[in-house]
């Protein structure tokens, strides 16, 4: 804060900041999470300043030694309560000054908190994107394993929450794998725009020093450097994109959770949720409640709210940095934590889920689920589909009146409604309906096997991408210990 023991800034002012203002404006309880990123950025910046001969080498060595000491204590510092500092940047600089004294003042040369926080957030976002992708892959793997175990199980597919046509359970589960694949695509796409290094933009106009921004980007594993300093310090599009992607992940998890809630009810009985992912009732001893699935469904609102909140903060801001941008982190961090936790717990639920094929099969054979197949039978024998639809509707009405299912009707009974019926229309079961849909993307067993193979191949490829991202992220401890480098053409004794 402005009234710190070291007065890191504030020489312009005659009065200290009001205590209530300090309490209102501090961001340290939120942005303390960026401590590792702030240390990494500070180390890379100091190395570049020394390499370019912009600050004295003895000061750079002292700074790096002090930062390395902070790196060793980073886990303790990340949770320590210290109200002296306004934000994570003043925390790092203040603690560094306590350790090495005046040389710490050289560290902020050629940078501003504006480009510093933009860097920290991008470093954090890149890691969070990789973590999120990895969590999605774990859930996809759990869904694929469940699908593999139950490739022949049939259940009713639904529209309007009414039984519609039979599908394979594996086909149903693969629908969620597809949703999550799109989520992975959005995370990977968002990574491209997060992977831009803003440091060197200064407060808004750049810096009057011979900075080697590409060297800093190399140290921190960025693929590109920002092209416009005004945009670099005020851009939070990468956070919006990540939040938008997380919002869709949350929506997809909510849809899956809703089905688990329905399927585990006595009315459906399609699955049983493992005891470790269910809870009891405070008053009814017989209850087994799908609370984890319900919470996953419920927490979606928080994630969507974080996206709307950030968009609202950004919508009226002029260039460049404005203090409103301090409000970009709390909802974002909460959304990241929430979605990643929901992904982990949903994967655990799916891994331990017990399917009940007999209940699914019984449901698939009832409620006239092969009615469309009867209509298609008439179409293949020359009847327009709309007329066939009407004929089969009459058959369903007759079955409802007599309490029978379609597969129980004889050929003579079918021909009462149309002479086009032949013996192949008699005794149609859900398995016949499923096998008939042998088109790309369909629920036929052959198609589902191909879908499983494609999904497993995509899973492997995306895991390689996650590994590639992780290898590019800076290793804080290694970065802190590396020796200083001298730039070509720069006197290594400069400023010594």
**How far apart (Å, rounded) are the C-alpha atoms in residues 496 and 493?**
5
**Is 242 one of the catalytic residues?**
no
Q: How many Cα atoms within 13 Å fall on the side-chain side of residue 133?
A: 29
Tokens linked to 93: 């600089």
Q: Is 66 in contact with 104 (CB distance < 8 Å)?
A: yes
Helical segments of 322-382, H only: 330-351, 357-365, 371-380
3-state DSSP percent of the chain in helix, strand and coil, to 5: 65, 5, 30
Place of tokens 């129980």: 408
Give the C-alpha separation, 182 to 194, whole Å: 18
d(CA 120, CA 124): 6
Q: Say whether 281 is catalytic.
A: yes
**DSSP code for 319:** S
Q: What is the DSSP string of 78-92?
A: HH---TT-SSHHHHH
Collapsing DSSP states into helix, strand and coil, what is residue 6? coil
Please pick, among 281, 366, 402, 492, the residue that the annotation labels catalytic.
281
Angle in degrees, CA 318, 321, 327, rounded to 5: 100
Peptide bond between residue 320 and the one before it cis (omega within 30 degrees of 0): yes
**Sign of the C-alpha dihedral, residues 132, 133, 136, 138?**
negative
DSSP assignment of 406-465, as one string?
Answer: GGG--HHHHHTT-TT--GGGTT--HHHHHHH--STTS-SHHHHHHHHHHHHHHHHHHHHH
The Cα–Cα gap between 18 and 2 comes to: 9
Pick the catalytic residue from 160, 276, 282, 460.
160
Q: Which structure tokens are listed for 246?
A: 């997380």
Strand partners, 155: 167
Residue 87, helix vs strand vs coil: coil
In angstroms, rounded to a whole number, what is the distance separating the alpha carbons of residues 485 and 391? 83
Indicate the length of the chain as a whole number: 496
The tokens of 310 are what?
């950030």
Q: How many Å separate Cα 150 from the centre of its chain? A: 28
Distances in Å between the Cα of 247 and the Cα atoms of 302, 304, 335 are 9, 5, 8
Q: Which residues, listed in sequence order, are joined to residue 197 by a DSSP beta bridge?
A: 225
Residues with catalytic annotation?
A: 160, 281
């Amino acid at each position: 804060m402005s009234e710190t023991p070291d007065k890191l800034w504030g020489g312009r002012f005659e009065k200290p900041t009001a205590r209530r203002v300090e309490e209102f404006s501090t961001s340290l309880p939120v942005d303390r999470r960026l401590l590792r990123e702030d240390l990494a950025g500070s180390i890379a910046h100091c190395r570049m300043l020394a390499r370019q001969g912009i600050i004295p080498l003895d000061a750079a060595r002292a700074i790096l030694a002090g930062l390395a000491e902070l790196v060793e204590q980073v886990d303790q510092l990340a949770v320590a309560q210290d109200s002296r500092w306004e934000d994570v940047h003043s925390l790092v600089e203040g603690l560094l000054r306590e350790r090495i004294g005046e040389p710490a003042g050289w560290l902020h040369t050629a940078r501003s908190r504006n480009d510093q926080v933009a860097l920290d957030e991008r470093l954090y976002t890149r890691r969070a994107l990789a973590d999120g992708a990895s969590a999605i892959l774990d859930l996809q793997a759990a869904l694929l394993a469940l699908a593999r175990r139950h490739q022949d199980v049939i259940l009713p597919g639904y529209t309007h929450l009414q039984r519609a046509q039979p599908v394979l359970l594996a086909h149903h589960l693969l629908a969620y794998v597809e949703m999550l694949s799109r989520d992975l695509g959005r995370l990977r796409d968002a990574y491209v725009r997060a992977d831009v290094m803003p440091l060197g933009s200064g407060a808004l106009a750049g810096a009057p020093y011979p900075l080697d921004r590409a060297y800093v980007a190399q140290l921190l594993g960025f693929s590109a450097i920002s092209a416009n300093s005004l945009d670099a310090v005020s851009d939070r599009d990468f956070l919006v994109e990540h939040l938008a992607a997380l919002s869709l992940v949350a929506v997809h998890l909510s849809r899956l959770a809703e089905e688990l809630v329905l399927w585990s009810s006595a009315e459906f009985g399609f699955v049983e949720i493992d005891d470790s992912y269910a809870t009891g009732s405070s008053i009814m001893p017989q209850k087994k409640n799908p609370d984890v699935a319900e919470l996953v469904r419920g927490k979606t609102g928080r994630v969507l709210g974080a996206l709307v909140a950030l968009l609202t903060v950004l919508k009226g801001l002029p260039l460049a940095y404005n203090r409103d941008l301090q409000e970009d982190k709390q909802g974002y961090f909460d959304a990241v934590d929430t979605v990643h936790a929901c992904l982990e717990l949903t994967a655990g639920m799916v891994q331990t889920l017990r399917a009940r094929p007999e209940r699914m099969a019984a449901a698939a054979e009832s409620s006239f689920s092969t009615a469309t197949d009867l209509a298609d039978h008439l179409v293949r024998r020359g009847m327009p589909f709309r007329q066939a639809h009407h004929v089969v509707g009459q058959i369903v009405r007759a079955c409802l009146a007599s309490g029978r299912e379609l597969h129980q009707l004889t050929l003579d009974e079918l021909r009462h409604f149309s002479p086009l019926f032949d013996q192949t229309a008699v005794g149609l079961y859900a398995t016949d309906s499923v096998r008939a849909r042998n088109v790309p993307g369909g629920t036929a067993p052959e198609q589902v096997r191909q879908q499983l193979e494609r999904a497993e191949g995509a899973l492997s490829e995306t895991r390689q991408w996650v590994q590639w991202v992780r290898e590019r992220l800076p290793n804080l401890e290694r970065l802190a210990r590396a020796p200083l480098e001298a730039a070509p053409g720069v006197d290594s004794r400069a400023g010594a």
